[in-house]
Structure 1
Amino acid sequence: MEELKHVVSAPFKKNLAASLTEKDFEFSLAFDLKWFSPKIASEVKARALESGLLSMKEGVIVPCFDVESVRLPHAFKPPENFLELKEKPGKPVSAVRNREEISFEQILDFISADAGINKQRLVSEINSMQERLSYLVDIRVVALIVAKKFGCNIERIHEKVSRTVLGFSDYA
């Protein structure tokens, strides 16, 4: 439970916020801190809500403990087997996470949040660019090109997209 409290406090500390939307909380765990996939970040949120560390009020997540009293060690990162979740029968998350791919939808979510552009406009721009490239480039790569066009900082997802598109199975 103490480990979960450390993990849950981090997005609030990082954002200097007393409350966060569900999306901002999960985004912080997955993309800002780079601790979990978006799916695992959602599981962390659910587990923290179930355990009473967080509460939901009008679509906003509020910690049920004093976040400032939690001291995170320097360079804190949760262990690979955090929460001991299972994604596939017989395979712990730590075994699956190393081969996890990033989907087009996750990329859209990231770009939309980072650049503040609605998804409909993004999809339109991506489709237009994809057409200009004669559909010869993977749509996830095209999404990154469009993201750069809108001034989005893609550094946090560039490597994951590259590895997904190129088919590398493990992250060194």
Structure 2
Amino acid sequence: MEELKRVVSVPFKKTLASSLSEKDFEYSLAFDLKWFSPKIASKVKEKALEAGILSLKAGTLVPCFDVESIRLPHAFKPSENFLEIQKNSNAEKPEKEEISLEQVLEFISTDTGVNRQKLVSEINSMQDRLSYLVDVRIVALIVGKKFGCSIEAIFERVARSVLGISF
């Protein structure tokens, strides 16, 4: 994971940018730095998005960590089997998939057309009735169902995130 952060940080450090387009990020890894083929650069981007190191906001990539805090060894270059190492390290320990309340709210709001304020109000009310004993993302799903949301598409992600199991 540390090497992935190093690799991801370089295009941002090089351009002194806080965000980059997907194209610019991949171009930097493949052509400016000459570290990867364009196809592998795309895989690096996908891996960083999956790992939560990068986020995609309005078509631009934004690092989810402090780029300036990453120290690079002199003449840093990722190892040749960089992606395989990342794959194997994830295979050793099953990663708990995280989904935030914000993501659940966005899904429900988009599916039902109910505004977020109303959803949050309903969730808070139900949380209060349940004495805050139930994870807020589960309560959000219950409220979403109440408003007619088709939660099947997001249910498994929430279950994996909250319980660490899949169905």
Question: TM-score scaled by structure 2?
Answer: 0.50
**Which residue does the alignment assign to 2:20?**
20
**Which residue does the alignment assign to 1:75?**
75
Does the residue aligned with 1:68 lie in a helix, a strand or coil? Answer: helix
**Which residue does the alignment assign to 1:40?**
40
If you compute each CA radius of gyration, which structure gives the higher value, 1 or 2?
2
Query: Partners of 1:48 and 1:8 in 2: how far apart?
Result: 7
1:11-44: per-residue Cα shift (whole Å, max 9, x none)?
0001110000000000000001110000000000
Matched letter for residue 39 of structure 1 = K
**Which residue does the alignment assign to 2:130?**
none
Report matched runs for 1:87-106 at 5 Å.
none
Runs of at least 4 residues off by over 3 Å: none
Does the residue aligned with 1:72 lie in a helix, a strand or coil? Answer: coil
1:54-103: per-residue Cα shift (whole Å, max 9, x none)?
00000000000000000111100000101118xxxxxxxxxxxxxxxxxx
Query: Partners of 1:19 and 1:31 in 2: how far apart?
Result: 18
Query: Partners of 1:15 and 1:45 in 2: how far apart?
Result: 17
Query: Partners of 2:39 and 2:27 in 1: how far apart?
Result: 10
Report matched runs for 1:21-170 at 5 Å.
21-84=21-84
Does the residue aligned with 1:74 lie in a helix, a strand or coil? Answer: coil
Query: Partners of 1:73 and 1:32 in 2: how far apart?
Result: 18
- Alignment length (residue pairs): 85
Structure 2 unaligned segments of length 5 or more: list them: 86-167
Q: CA RMSD in A?
A: 1.0
Query: Partners of 1:15 and 1:28 in 2: how far apart?
Result: 9
